[in-house]
Structure 1
Amino acid sequence: MILYGPPASGKDTVTAALSELDERFALLTKLKAGSGRGTGYRYVSSEDLQALRDAGRLAVETERYGNRYAVDRQDVEDLVEAGRAPVIHMGDTQGIRELCSAVPLAWTRVRLWVPREITAERSKERGDTDTARRVEAWDEADADLRAAGDAVTFDLTIRTDESEPMESAKRIVRAVGF
């Protein structure tokens, strides 16, 4: 499953609710070369990332906040082989297209959304030191969605400021068909 949304749209919170509801859901730990928030990431050096890239293991790579993020296709395969449903957080539509192409699973694509001002409020509440950059990323996500048009479709869209995390998780489980 792909959870798409701007910063502070509830990806971590909804993922926690999904895991609580059904233990088959497992957050895929993305690779991160850089610094900053570490939750949900496995730090790697730029050299390690290059070695994985050279080995053809990177399904998707993105850059944001001066960091490089990547999904190791082996990590996805390991979760699937263990009977788990990988949950991958994405913040751009190009990354969704690349992931779906590189790892041909029956992906359920869920758009988590909040208004711009909610992103700013949540960012401050969780102690981000770069709230202005998070709001800028919201603007980029909004523009990205408009530019993508029908190139990326979502199976479900949830306004997380209007839905409790567990209710959002239940809606997602129904969409996945578990």
Structure 2
Amino acid sequence: MASSRGVLLYGPPAAGKDTITEQLITIGPYTHFQRLKVGPGRTSGYRMGTIEQLTSLRERGQVIYENQRYDSAYVVDRGELDSIVREHEQVPVLHIGQVDAIHAIRRGYPLIWTVVMVFCPREEAEKRLVERNDARVDERLSVWDETLAEADLALFDLVVNTGAFEPAHVATAIDWCQRHRQ
């Protein structure tokens, strides 16, 4: 039986989305949805693609959500979600940083979505970015500001300051919310 549930992890850069997802994977049938990325920069956590692949997805109506950031295109596509949900019967965990993405994904791929906002103090985000040797600290902090400014708390089932809680505790809370959503 295919999964009918999913998790949207909304948050700014360095909020802990990767770490929380790793913890979720250890406690349940969760898997990280790796967005298709076309462009330069970080490759970890993405399925790298070409402009031709992106054009084909667009032409076939497979793009659920697409955004442009850091000189790259980032895509949530139907085929990868179908693979996770229908073929592997896993609960997809999507990392997003735009409110528009929440609406587009809910509308474009109807699952029972648990929507979680994760954040940490800006100083903590900066420290995390420096520790991971990020080449775009200032740009990512600007995105951090934008992401939190556009957040509408009414959209979220859970809001967590990752600077105040251990990742395992955050994952447990998300799992509980996800399992009790109707």
**Same fold by TM-score greater than 0.5:** yes
1:66, CA displacement in angstroms?
A: 1.1
Q: TM-score, structure 2 length as denominator?
A: 0.92
Residues 75-115 of structure 1: CA deviation (Å, up to 9, x unaligned): 11111112100000001101111111110111000100112
Q: Which moved more, 1:4-13 or 1:136-145?
A: 136-145
Q: 1:34 aligns with which of 34, 39, 50?
A: 39
The reply to whether residue 125 of structure 1 matches residue 131 of structure 2 is yes
Unaligned runs of 5+ in 1: none
> 2 CA distance for matches of 1:169 and 1:143?
24
Unaligned runs of 5+ in 2: 1-6
SS of residue paired to 1:119: helix
Which residue of structure 1 aligns with residue 16 of structure 2? Answer: 10
Letter of the 2:90 partner, please give it.
Answer: R
Contact 1:119-1:134 at 8 Å conserved across structures = no
Paired-residue identity, %: 36
Residues 60-79 of structure 1: CA deviation (Å, up to 9, x unaligned): 00111111000111111111
Which residue of structure 2 aligns with residue 89 of structure 1? Answer: 95
Which residue of structure 2 aligns with residue 101 of structure 1? Answer: 107
> 2 CA distance for matches of 1:42 and 1:66?
16
Which residue of structure 1 aligns with residue 157 of structure 2? Answer: 155
> 1 CA distance for matches of 2:131 and 2:153?
32
Which residue of structure 2 aligns with residue 61 of structure 1? Answer: 66
Which residue of structure 1 aligns with residue 117 of structure 2? Answer: 111
Letter of the 2:147 partner, please give it.
Answer: A
Letter of the 1:174 partner, please give it.
Answer: W
SS of residue paired to 2:61: coil
Q: How many residues align?
A: 173
> 2 CA distance for matches of 1:84 and 1:149?
27
- Compute the RMSD of aligned alpha carbons: 1.2
Moved over 3 A (4+): none
